[in-house]
Structure 1
Amino acid sequence: MMHSPEMFPVPLLHLEQTDSTNHYLKTICDKSSVTELTTVVADYQTSGRGQRGNSWESEAGKNLMFSFVLYPTFLEARRQFLLSQLISLTIKEELDRYAEGFSIKWPNDIYWHEQKIAGILIEHDLTGCCLGRSIAGIGLNVNQTVFHSTAPNPVSLYQITRQEHNCLALLSTIMKRIQTEYLSVQNGEEANIADRYRTSLFRGKGMHRYEDLHGEFMAEIIHIEPEGILVLQDDKGQRRRYAFKEVKYQLL
């Protein structure tokens, strides 16, 4: 384990290998007091997790797999989606510096056109009616050139830009953005996050194919409610509301 470079914007623990950066960070948080925004990054994860229980493929030393801790005690639990918006926007807007075509696939996957470049998993602990601790884990494909898993649509920043990128330098700029955005939310300056998120959505305009328990249908995104509920309007004019995992995009 290596501690952070002196110039890194937040406390950093750099691991050669771990099962999961989320699990590693949770373990040390449970045992001792850990400074907010402390970040754990690993060159390789043996059991990285994504949303819906999926695994995250990552070639050793090629990508960013990291987690960081927040103590958002100022946020009611019902407003936890605000953190998901903040973090996904931070990743998406950092990637915008390198190319066009990035978007956020509700609730918080990051896509480049029709291909997935990053996934985010946030785990919350409650203190009463508020969030006590949140650990966010991010997998971001940076320099990997070949993917072997059954995932249908992975892509890396290298494949997009045809250039290799310094993973720790990229992590540094991401964490600076997160630090700034999080401080703004702490200070009550969150008015534009929902608007930025809405305009950054994958397939945010027009009719697209979805699937729920009743089958496939065509619909367009109408609204994202503050609690994270996705509101669609189908091609028959009917509005449909979905919580996470209740509806799937049909990908190309």
Structure 2
Amino acid sequence: MKPWIETAPFINSYVGQTESTNLLLNSWCNEKTVAQFTTVVAGFQTAGRGQRGNKWESDEGMNLLFSTVLYPIFLAVKQQFLLSQIISLAVKEVLDSFSEGFSIKWPNDIYHCDKKIAGILIENDLSGNTISRTIVGTGLNINQEAFHSDAPNPISLRQITGTVHDRKDILQAVMLRLMEYYNQLSNGETEEISSRYLASLYRSRGMHTYTDASGEFQAEIFTVSPEGYLWLKDDKGALRKYAFKEVQYIL
């Protein structure tokens, strides 16, 4: 397969169709030595996956569907949420160059106002107390004009800006930003990463409606812990701690 971007500072391969770029890249890594930042881009996925088995809708050739491999052996398992932070920041900050209103919906969805433009699936392989391999799958809606699934709130960059965008240029920009953040991470510069992540969160200010196993409530984001737990402070002043999928945003 030929590189999708001829002058990319990372190894990239384009496939017209695959079941899932994460599955494809994982199989490559299991069969041979694959260099860090190797990226697989697909025109269409027959079984694109999101978090917890959710499906990702994308018309053929309209959006960015790609997976990248990292080898963050310098990171302890308890620090794995930092990977989620740098990846979501890289995508969000590239989108910021096109329009205002982008944010990161905890843990790593990318939103424009109250609509979802990107989803990220991170799969880690562990070796003892460290992370031996990470495969990051990203679905980023670029040029799709309409969505047909029952997903509640998708949006594309074209719908936001009214313009058709070059997917290759956007991928290049995301990867360059990710490489910068990954270098910071490998140098132990984690405080700036975490502070940027917190500042970029969807609903980072004010009281909003959430729901958990006990029902709906009003709360504001208090913090996100280094392990990735979301801490909310409700309207009675009580702190509530949540793992992924234990609380839902009422949009």
Q: Name stretches of at least 5 consecutive residues in structure 2 with no aligned partner.
A: none
Distance in 1 between residues matched to 2:93 and 2:192, nearest whole Å: 14
Moved more, 242-251 or 138-147: 242-251
The alignment partner of 1:29 has SS state of helix
The alignment partner of 1:177 has SS state of helix
Give the C-alpha shift of residue 214 in structure 1: 1.1
User: Is the aligned partner of 1:166 residue 2:166?
Assistant: yes
Contact kept, 8 Å, 2:4 with 2:168, in 1: the verdict is no
Question: What residue is the counterpart of 2:209 in the other structure?
Answer: 209
Shift in CA distance, 247/56, structure 1 to aligned 2, threshold 3 Å = same
Give the C-alpha shift of residue 102 in structure 1: 0.1
Q: Which amino acid aligns with 1:208?
A: H
Question: What residue is the counterpart of 1:20 in the other structure?
Answer: 20
- 1:237-252 → structure 2 map (5 Å cutoff): 237-251=237-251
Contact kept, 8 Å, 1:144 with 1:156, in 2: the verdict is yes
The alignment partner of 1:158 has SS state of helix
TM-score computed with the length of structure 2 as normaliser: 0.98
Contact kept, 8 Å, 2:48 with 2:56, in 1: the verdict is yes
Q: Which amino acid aligns with 1:35?
A: A
Give the C-alpha shift of residue 52 in structure 1: 2.8
Deviation string 1:51-75 (CA, Å, 9 cap, x unpaired) is 1321000000000000000000000
Contact kept, 8 Å, 1:110 with 1:119, in 2: the verdict is yes
Distance in 2 between residues matched to 1:132 and 1:114, nearest whole Å: 35
Q: Which amino acid aligns with 1:93?
A: E
User: Is the aligned partner of 1:101 residue 2:107?
Assistant: no
Q: Which amino acid aligns with 2:243?
A: A
Question: What residue is the counterpart of 2:218 in the other structure?
Answer: 218
The alignment partner of 1:240 has SS state of strand
User: Is the aligned partner of 1:185 residue 2:185?
Assistant: yes
Question: What residue is the counterpart of 1:40 in the other structure?
Answer: 40
Deviation string 1:150-169 (CA, Å, 9 cap, x unpaired) is 01110000000111001111
Question: What residue is the counterpart of 1:128 in the other structure?
Answer: 128
Q: Which amino acid aligns with 1:99?
A: S
Distance in 2 between residues matched to 1:225 and 1:80, nearest whole Å: 12
Give the C-alpha shift of residue 4 in structure 1: 4.5
Contact kept, 8 Å, 1:37 with 1:69, in 2: the verdict is yes
Q: Which amino acid aligns with 1:201?
A: L
Distance in 2 between residues matched to 1:16 and 1:150, nearest whole Å: 25
Q: How many residues align?
A: 251
The alignment partner of 1:3 has SS state of coil
Question: What residue is the counterpart of 1:31 in the other structure?
Answer: 31
Structure 1 vs Structure 2 CA RMSD: 0.8
Q: Which amino acid aligns with 1:46?
A: T
Give the C-alpha shift of residue 5 in structure 1: 3.7
Q: Which amino acid aligns with 1:30?
A: N
Contact kept, 8 Å, 1:230 with 1:243, in 2: the verdict is yes
Contact kept, 8 Å, 1:2 with 1:15, in 2: the verdict is no
Moved more, 22-31 or 176-185: 176-185
TM-score computed with the length of structure 1 as normaliser: 0.98
User: Is the aligned partner of 1:72 residue 2:72?
Assistant: yes
The alignment partner of 2:228 has SS state of coil
Question: What residue is the counterpart of 1:119 in the other structure?
Answer: 119
Question: What residue is the counterpart of 1:55 in the other structure?
Answer: 55
Deviation string 1:162-199 (CA, Å, 9 cap, x unpaired) is 11001111101111111111011111222201110111
The alignment partner of 1:117 has SS state of strand
Contact kept, 8 Å, 2:5 with 2:168, in 1: the verdict is no
The alignment partner of 1:93 has SS state of helix
Moved more, 50-59 or 27-36: 50-59
Regions of 4+ moved over 6 Å: none
Distance in 2 between residues matched to 1:52 and 1:207, nearest whole Å: 27
Question: What residue is the counterpart of 1:85 in the other structure?
Answer: 85
